[in-house]
């Protein structure tokens, strides 16, 4: 190879320069430099301002030939090239050369773009919460192979080998704000997928979800399995319990596997549907099922226990379930949960 390079350089000065540029970037890539170092080296080689921008994060690096961050206002790019990874354009590199471009500028930018893509794949982008939905979907999809999933996680900035927990979210609040609150210190990424927001993180604090957010938290298994668990947990959320961890559902998670037609045909679930038009009855039954005690339910509802007892007596007749019996209370709880799952 070296002998060929010598012969080629003897034929054309441009070829000699191009070979030297290629060798320069090969050396940088072997040294595993980061993006700022890559920009500094490029600016020094080109003897003009060099820039790198990543589309997914909005990160921009502009460096002067002296190796310092360029302080002057950006000049129009004299030459630019896309940064591509796995056939997707993830950024741009450019030179801000006064006057006409140098004949070797295109070669320089071509190698800079290749090196920048290599750095992004190795180290991932700078920390930011919002992420490319396509990358997030690749991480959580059950159809992704492990190599593609690992590559997507690296591009999102997650270190190899760390468990990633997935959260399914429904909220009017911005996803980046929610992600920053529930994981203030660790790596976190978020993206909307259809009608559900997705948060990926190495650690989640359920107590930090703000009011108005419903969230299902998957276990820290594989991201695809954690996503399925998170979606299931989200179905169990409600006004009384807006954040649900899949790990806390236990056997209740099995209810999510029951076909909806089967649930609708169940006598207890059908009975719940008959009282669903009465908010007062539903609130009373929900509170009683949650507390398991008439007096505690009365305290929560701010009613006299005799009033709650009369309500429950009427509800029990409609449901044809003895609510004061342990078995009857269990039936009511299961039926109420199964009925709620019908709406999701």
Chain position carrying tokens 């006598």:
267
> Where is 216: in which H helix or E strand?
strand 214-217
pLDDT (tens digit per residue) in 142-185:
998 888 898 888 888 887 778 899 999 999 988 888 988 888 76
Where in the sequence is the domain holding 335, given as residue range(s)? 258-341
Computed on alpha carbons and rounded to an integer, the radius of gyration of the chain in Å comes to 30
User: Which range has the worst mean pLDDT, 97-101, 125-129, 337-341?
Assistant: 125-129
Say if residue 56 is in the same domain as residue 92: yes
Domain finish residue from 74, 92, 123: 123
Whole-number pLDDT of residue 57: 64
Q: Three-class SS of residue 209?
A: coil
User: In this predicted structure, what is the pLDDT of residue 49?
Assistant: 95
pLDDT digits (tens, 9 = 90+) for 124-143: 554 557 888 989 999 999 99
Number of domains in the chain: 3
Q: Element (H or E) spanning 294, and its range?
A: helix 294-301
Identify the CA nearest to 13 among candidates 109, 100, 102.
Answer: 102
Domain-embedded: residue 91:
yes
What own/partner pairs with CB < 8 Å and gap ≥ 24 does 73-82 have?
75/49, 77/51, 78/48, 78/105, 79/105, 79/106, 79/109, 80/109, 81/106, 81/109, 81/110, 81/112, 81/113, 82/113
Reference 164, options 156, 172, 174; nearest CA is 156
Estimate to the nearest angstrom the gap between the alpha carbon of 65 and the chain centroid.
38
Report pLDDT for 291.
Answer: 92
Q: Is the pLDDT of residue 8 over 50?
A: no
Q: Please report, for the domain that includes residue 295, its CATH number.
A: 1.10.10.2840
Query: In 3D, which of 219, 270, 210 has the Cα closest to residue 242?
Result: 210
Q: Tell me, yes or no, whether 128 lies in a domain.
A: no
Q: Token pair for residue 145?
A: 């192979």
At 73, which CATH number?
3.30.450
**Helix or strand (DSSP H, E) at 77:** none
Position 12 in a domain = yes
* CA–CA dist 294, 216 (Å, integer): 30
pTM: 0.63
Average pLDDT, the chain: 88
Tell me the CATH number at 144: 3.30.70
Is residue 336 in some structural domain? yes
User: Do 114 and 7 sit in the same domain of this protein?
Assistant: yes
């Amino acid at each position: 190879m070296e002998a060929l390079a010598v012969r080629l350089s003897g034929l054309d000065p441009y070829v000699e320069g191009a070979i030297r540029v290629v060798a320069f970037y090969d050396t940088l890539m072997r040294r595993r430099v980061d993006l700022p170092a890559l920009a500094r080296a490029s600016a020094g080689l080109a003897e003009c301002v060099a820039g790198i921008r990543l589309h997914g994060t909005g990160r921009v690096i502009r460096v002067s030939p002296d190796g310092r961050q360029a302080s002057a206002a950006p000049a129009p790019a004299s030459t630019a090239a896309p940064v591509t990874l796995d056939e997707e354009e993830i950024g741009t590199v450019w030179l801000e050369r006064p006057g006409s471009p140098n004949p070797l500028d295109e070669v320089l930018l071509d190698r800079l773009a290749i090196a920048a893509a290599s750095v992004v794949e190795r180290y991932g982008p700078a920390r930011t919460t919002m992420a490319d939905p396509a990358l997030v979907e690749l991480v959580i999809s059950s159809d992704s192979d492990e190599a593609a999933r690992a590559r997507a996680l690296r591009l999102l900035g997650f270190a190899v080998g760390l468990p990633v927990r997935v959260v399914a979210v429904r909220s009017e609040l911005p996803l980046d704000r929610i992600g920053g609150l529930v994981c203030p210190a660790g790596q976190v990424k978020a993206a909307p997928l259809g009608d559900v927001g997705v948060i990926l993180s190495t650690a989640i604090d359920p107590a930090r979800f703000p009011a108005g957010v419903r969230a299902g938290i998957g276990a820290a298994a594989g991201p695809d399995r954690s996503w399925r668990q998170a979606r299931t947990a989200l179905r169990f959320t409600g006004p009384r319990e807006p954040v649900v961890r899949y790990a806390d559902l236990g056997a209740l998670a099995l209810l999510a596997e029951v076909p909806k037609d089967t649930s609708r045909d169940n006598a207890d679930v059908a009975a719940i549907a008959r009282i669903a038009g009465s908010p007062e009855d539903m609130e009373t039954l929900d509170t009683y099922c949650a507390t398991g005690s008439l007096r505690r339910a009365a305290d929560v509802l701010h009613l006299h226990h005799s009033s709650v007892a009369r309500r429950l007596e009427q509800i029990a007749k409609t449901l044809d379930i003895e609510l004061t019996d342990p078995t009857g209370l269990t039936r009511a709880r299961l039926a109420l949960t199964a009925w709620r799952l019908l709406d999701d």
